[in-house]
Amino acid sequence: MPSAHRNDDGGLRPTEEPPSSDSGSNAGPLAGRRAIVTGGASGIGAACARELAAQGAYVVVADRDAEGAGVVAKEIKGEAWAVDLLDTAALEELSLDADILVNNAGIQVVQPIEQFDPADFRRIHTLMLEVPFLLMRAALPSMYAKGFGRIINVSSVHGLRASPFKAAYVSAKHGLEGLSKVAALEGGPHGVTSNCVNPGYVRTPLVENQIADQARLHGISEDEVLERIMLTESAVKRLVEPAEVGSLVAWLASGQAGMVTGASYTMDGGWSAR
């Protein structure tokens, strides 16, 4: 696996230790904390990586896009971890040294159930439910040993509400919500919190692709998709900005959020208030 090595216990972890706190690169409330952000090369993941780094954390940017991860890591003086998260066999042997784990990597396929490719269904569930489980499993021993940990799962309003044509995504996010709550109950006695962040539609390449898919499925323009489909349930009629999600993730990673666990924080413009 690229950018990883074996620990004494035989597990794998991203290379490099964070710079020492007196290096001048880790000033802020998260100074001395090591964060791992999956899907960190772009979109929400990149925004989370930037905000965590701005708060002082040393951030490992994990993504299959090695070049993109490297660009973000260089910008924030962190580390790129080029990893194929769908290689779950490798993740089963992983040991991670992390104080903060942000499970963000995700994909989307939009199709009616009767036309949904079973391979796509399995791939989405693997990446968005099984992989977070495996990464939690890899990171929790280190967190427990330190008496501190923050697991932050980037879920979605679709972890709380359903939409047509998104059987795999909706069911995976609902599963992630349950997994996050179990981790909260198990981690609480060890100083580890686990929470979900539930944005509505965020201005990312993934959503831009969804807009195009919905336009095709419904036979309407992309502007009409936003007006008539995506934002109809939202009281605030705009897309969420990635930096807004990053700011909430960084707060959940902070010491101020030590009593916040097992929760789902909506950032959906009022969609789930209906």
- Which residue among the candidates 58, 169, 201, 265 is catalytic per the annotation? 169
Query: Phi/psi of residue 37, each to 5°?
Result: -120, 120
**Cβ atoms < 10 Å from Cβ of 10:** 8
Of the candidates 137, 111, 136, the one whose C-alpha atom is nearest the C-alpha of residue 124 is: 111
165 vs 109, 114, 120, CA distance in Å?
8, 10, 13
Convert 160-175 to b/e letters by CB count within 10 Å (16 or more is b): bbebebbbbbbbbbbb
Query: Phi/psi of residue 160, each to 5°?
Result: -120, -25
Q: Is 169 a catalytic residue?
A: yes
Share in percent of the chain as helix, strand, coil (round to 5): 45, 20, 35
What residues are annotated to the active site? Answer: 169
